[in-house]
Structure 1
Amino acid sequence: MELRIYFKYVLILFKSQMQYRSSFWLLTVGQFFIPFAMIAGLYFLFERFGEIKGWDFFEVALCFAVIHMAFAISECFARGFDTFSTLVGKGEFDRLLVRPRSTIIQVLGSKFEFSKFGRLFQSILVLIWAISNLSIVWTVMKAVTLLLMVTSGVVIFTGIFMLAATMCFWTIQGVEVANIFIDGGREMAQYPLNIYQKWVTHFFTFVIPFGCVNYLPLMYILDKTEGNAVLYMISPLAGVAFILPCLRLWQIGVRHYRSTGS
């Protein structure tokens, strides 16, 4: 029932955005070119230095593509949490509370940005470009691992959006702090984490598990593992587990919410 309602939200908002087709396509094209400067900068960086900590351009490009695919999907379908401060500030969250449906589904369904598919499309092209230039011996398990990397990345970004929204139950001014982990996490996770200092690697592996999305499974796909390869292969599941405490904190936030009284 909840999923059916969610997909109805998706369909309704998609139809509404398609009422202005020219605007929609211009925004989509714009989103396609937004990451272009980043991938171009990445290319020229490796053109100058050759490799970084044993990683060449196409290996990092694969990492880049996975993270940006996950970010684009989460920005499209979890945008409601990113703009949640507006709902709280205007008192519109009260309206969601009186409905006999999950607040999570309602907030998720409050906003979608389908123009983000432009960014997703470019990330897919980078992924294809990287894979076609890497000598990867593909197996079913490696293909599943790649799919898990993207899925887990979507879950992690959605969880961070949810945590940012949860902060709004106490203060809508502190939501910008979460952007450090959203934008900062995306920028750092587009490179293999072992190029950073150990404390950064540990933080983005054991606290916000981006390392379980890009670095560890990437080593499995590229046959760079040390020890038990299965652990590298299933590491993206840590990203899926990340959503559990986020959901719990959201429930706590909802219980502590005080109505605007309007």
Structure 2
Amino acid sequence: MKLYFQYMSIHFRSQMQYRTSFFLLSIGQFFIPFFVFAGMYFMFERFGQLQGWSFFEVALCYAVIHLSFSLSESLARGFDAFSALVVAGGFDRLLVRPRNTVLQVLGSKFEFTRIGRLLQSIIVLIWSVSNLPQVWSLSKLLTLAFMVLNGVFIFTGIFILAATLCFWTVQGLEVANVFTDGGREMAQYPLHIYERPVFKFFTFIIPFGCVTYYPLLYLLDKEEGSLLSGILTPLGGALFLLPCLLVWRAGVKHYHSTGS
């Protein structure tokens, strides 16, 4: 972890060499999800509820998933941009270093300009929680923290799976965005509003439901929620990350240099 933070420090100092560009990009990252949230706000202004869920309940769901995504995109950007390492032969250099390849790829790229998206998500989170008094207990606030952390695990796992494909395809595949950007957009609403196949897919295959929907049932005192489901289901994110790391390990064993 000391090496990881050294990587982070180097990239931060590098990006701050162009401060105007950094702050302008950060402002842009603030407003991109802001318009999505504004659309959600006006929808509730028009219709009032979404299958029994109020605006602030859905806003909490939105804040958790966007906060998780922005953290993962900032800290695991190396896997999202991994195809460039493979194409240029840079991964060969990582293989001869006496450190784990996962750590090195994680430290190869950081996107600190995502602080704008992160800040917007935090503002929405604070606003929604302040209007949901039932969330204010120690167990529920801890559950909320676990939800965000395990959301980071899920998005990072998807980035790792997409990066692993580069060992065979060399170039990254845009299909991964279906599960990162698409999964983020779907998981910002309660999953039970979708058709059953979609609901099951995002519960048992890519477990976004374990990060937002099921824990929120407990946080918001919905009938289906319980303390056990609220505390345990966020761990689905960590369970999803483990096989992703195993797939990555298998991909590294089958890696053949591009010869660049």
TM-score range, shorter chain: over 0.9
Tell me how many residue pairs correspond in the alignment.
Answer: 260
Q: How does 1:1-262 map to 2 (within 5 A)?
A: 3-173=1-171, 175-226=173-224, 228-262=226-260
2:164–2:251 Cα contact (<8 Å) kept: yes
Q: Separation in 2 of the partners of 1:147 and 1:107?
A: 26
> Which segment drifts farther, 27-36 or 148-157?
27-36
1:225–1:232 Cα contact (<8 Å) kept: no
* Aligned partner letter, 1:159: G
Deviations along 1:114-144, whole A, 9 cap, x unmatched?
A: 0101100010001111112223252111011
- Return structure 1 stretches of 4+ with deviation > 3 angstroms: none
Q: Quick one: percent identity of the two aligned structures?
A: 65
Q: Separation in 2 of the partners of 1:215 and 1:49?
A: 21
Deviations along 1:66-86, whole A, 9 cap, x unmatched?
A: 000000000000000000011
2:215–2:225 Cα contact (<8 Å) kept: no
Assess, with a 3 A threshold, how the Cα gap between structure 1 residues 151 and 98 changes in structure 2: closer, same or farther: same
Q: Separation in 1 of the partners of 2:250 and 2:235?
A: 24
Assess, with a 3 A threshold, how the Cα gap between structure 1 residues 239 and 95 changes in structure 2: closer, same or farther: same
What secondary structure, in the 3-state scheme, does the structure 2 residue paired with 1:55 have?
A: coil
* Aligned partner letter, 1:78: A
Q: Separation in 2 of the partners of 1:251 and 1:17?
A: 31
Deviations along 1:75-110, whole A, 9 cap, x unmatched?
A: 000000000011111111111111111111111101
The structural deviation recorded for 1:48 is 1.1
What secondary structure, in the 3-state scheme, does the structure 2 residue paired with 1:194 have?
A: helix
Assess, with a 3 A threshold, how the Cα gap between structure 1 residues 192 and 22 changes in structure 2: closer, same or farther: same
* Aligned partner letter, 1:250: W
Q: Separation in 1 of the partners of 2:126 and 2:203?
A: 26
The structural deviation recorded for 1:228 is 4.4
Deviations along 1:36-71, whole A, 9 cap, x unmatched?
A: 110000001111111111111110000000000000
Assess, with a 3 A threshold, how the Cα gap between structure 1 residues 18 and 174 changes in structure 2: closer, same or farther: closer
2:89–2:257 Cα contact (<8 Å) kept: yes
Assess, with a 3 A threshold, how the Cα gap between structure 1 residues 42 and 228 changes in structure 2: closer, same or farther: closer
What secondary structure, in the 3-state scheme, does the structure 2 residue paired with 1:136 have?
A: helix
Assess, with a 3 A threshold, how the Cα gap between structure 1 residues 227 and 29 changes in structure 2: closer, same or farther: closer
Assess, with a 3 A threshold, how the Cα gap between structure 1 residues 151 and 225 changes in structure 2: closer, same or farther: farther
Assess, with a 3 A threshold, how the Cα gap between structure 1 residues 174 and 261 changes in structure 2: closer, same or farther: closer
Q: Separation in 2 of the partners of 1:119 and 1:227?
A: 30
The structural deviation recorded for 1:204 is 0.3
- What TM-score do you get using the length of structure 2 for normalisation? 0.97
Q: Separation in 1 of the partners of 2:62 and 2:136?
A: 19
The structural deviation recorded for 1:226 is 2.5
Q: Separation in 1 of the partners of 2:25 and 2:135?
A: 38
